[in-house]
Structure 1
Amino acid sequence: MNELLSKVLDLQGAWTAVNTDEMRKRGVFVRQELPAFLRGHKAELADALGVAVNELGVEGRDGTGLKTEIPWVRVYGSDQSPSATSGWYVVYLFGATGERVYLSLMQGTTVWTGGDFKQRKLEDLRARASWARPVIAEQAARRSDLKRDLRLEATTTLGRGYGPGTVVAFEYSRETLPRQEVLLADLRYMLGLLRRLYEAERLAAHIPGDPAPEVLEAEQSAAKAAGRRTRKGSRQLKPGQGYRLSAEERDAIERHSVDMATEFFQAQGWTVKDVGARESYDLLLTRAGRKVRAEVKGTASAGMDVILTRAEVEKQRQYYPDNALVVVHSIILDRTGAKPVASGGTLHCTSPWSIEEDDLTVISYTYRTQVGTTPSSPGVPQQRQSQGDPQVTATRWSPL
Structure 2
Amino acid sequence: MDDLLSKVLDLQGVWTAKNTEEMQKRGIHIRQEIPALLRGESVSLAGALGVAGDVLGIEGRDGTGLKTEVPWVRVYDPAMSPSATTGWYVVYLFSGTGDRVYLSLNQGTTVWTGGDFKARRIEDLRARVGWARPLLAEQMATRADLRTQIRLDARTPLGRGYEPGNVVAIEYTREQLPTQEVLLADLRYMLGLLQTLYAAERLTPHIPGDPAPEVLEAERSAAAAAGRRGRGVSRPGRSGQGFRLTSAERQAIERRGVDVASEFFAVQGWKVQDVGARESFDLLLKRGDERLHVEVKGTTSAGHDVILTRAEVEKQRKYYPNNALVIVHSIHLDRTGDEPIASGGALHCTSPWEIADEDLSVISYAYRTAVGRDDHTEVEGALDALKKEPREAPRVLQAPTVL
* TM-score (norm. length: structure 2): 0.91
Structure 1 pair 156/234, CA: closer, same or farther in 2 (3 Å)?
farther
Deviations 1:284-334 (A, max 9, x none): 100012111101000000101100111111111111111110000011111
Q: Does 1:132 align with 2:116?
A: no
- How far apart are the structure 2 equivalents of 1:203 and 1:167? 19
1:69 maps to what in 2?
A: 69
- How far apart are the structure 1 equivalents of 2:377 and 2:187? 69
Residues 239 and 246 in structure 1, CA contact (< 8 A), matched pair in contact too: no
- How far apart are the structure 1 equivalents of 2:170 and 2:74? 14
SS at 2:46 equivalent: helix
Shift of 1:10: 1.2
SS at 1:361 equivalent: coil
Shift of 1:141: 1.0
SS at 2:199 equivalent: helix
1:364 maps to what in 2?
A: 364
1:255 maps to what in 2?
A: 255
Residues 239 and 245 in structure 1, CA contact (< 8 A), matched pair in contact too: no
1:208 maps to what in 2?
A: 208
SS at 2:146 equivalent: coil
- How far apart are the structure 2 equivalents of 1:118 and 1:68? 15
Paired residues in the alignment total: 381
- How far apart are the structure 2 equivalents of 1:289 and 1:207? 43
SS at 1:308 equivalent: coil
2:104 maps to what in 1?
A: 104
Shift of 1:253: 0.5
Q: CA RMSD in A?
A: 1.8
Shift of 1:376: 5.2
Structure 1 pair 26/117, CA: closer, same or farther in 2 (3 Å)?
same
Deviations 1:23-68 (A, max 9, x none): 1111111110000000001111111101111211000011111111
1:79 maps to what in 2?
A: 79
Structure 1 pair 271/378, CA: closer, same or farther in 2 (3 Å)?
closer
Residues 19 and 66 in structure 2, CA contact (< 8 A), matched pair in contact too: yes
- How far apart are the structure 2 equivalents of 1:178 and 1:134? 29
Residues 11 and 22 in structure 1, CA contact (< 8 A), matched pair in contact too: yes
- Give matches, 1:110-259, under 5 Å: 110-231=110-231, 233-234=232-233, 238=237, 242-259=242-259
Residues 203 and 242 in structure 1, CA contact (< 8 A), matched pair in contact too: no
Structure 1 pair 204/338, CA: closer, same or farther in 2 (3 Å)?
same
Residues 86 and 234 in structure 1, CA contact (< 8 A), matched pair in contact too: no
Residues 86 and 235 in structure 1, CA contact (< 8 A), matched pair in contact too: no
Residues 79 and 235 in structure 2, CA contact (< 8 A), matched pair in contact too: no
Which shifted more, 186-195 or 241-250? 241-250
- How far apart are the structure 2 equivalents of 1:228 and 1:176? 49
- How far apart are the structure 2 equivalents of 1:119 and 1:375? 44
Q: Does 1:301 align with 2:309?
A: no
Amino acid at match of 1:257: G
Structure 1 pair 81/380, CA: closer, same or farther in 2 (3 Å)?
closer
Structure 1 pair 152/13, CA: closer, same or farther in 2 (3 Å)?
same
Deviations 1:153-188 (A, max 9, x none): 111101111110000000011111111111101000
- How far apart are the structure 1 equivalents of 2:81 and 2:146? 23
Structure 1 pair 73/88, CA: closer, same or farther in 2 (3 Å)?
same
Deviations 1:186-225 (A, max 9, x none): 0000000000000111111111111000001101110110
Shift of 1:366: 1.5
SS at 1:285 equivalent: strand
Identity level (%): 69
Shift of 1:135: 1.1
Structure 1 pair 16/29, CA: closer, same or farther in 2 (3 Å)?
same
Deviations 1:78-122 (A, max 9, x none): 111111001000000111111111000000011000111111111
SS at 2:54 equivalent: helix
- How far apart are the structure 2 equivalents of 1:235 and 1:108? 15
Shift of 1:236: 5.5
Structure 1 pair 237/169, CA: closer, same or farther in 2 (3 Å)?
farther
SS at 2:70 equivalent: coil
Shift of 1:234: 4.7
Amino acid at match of 1:200: A
Residues 331 and 346 in structure 1, CA contact (< 8 A), matched pair in contact too: yes
Residues 78 and 234 in structure 2, CA contact (< 8 A), matched pair in contact too: no
* TM-score (norm. length: structure 1): 0.92
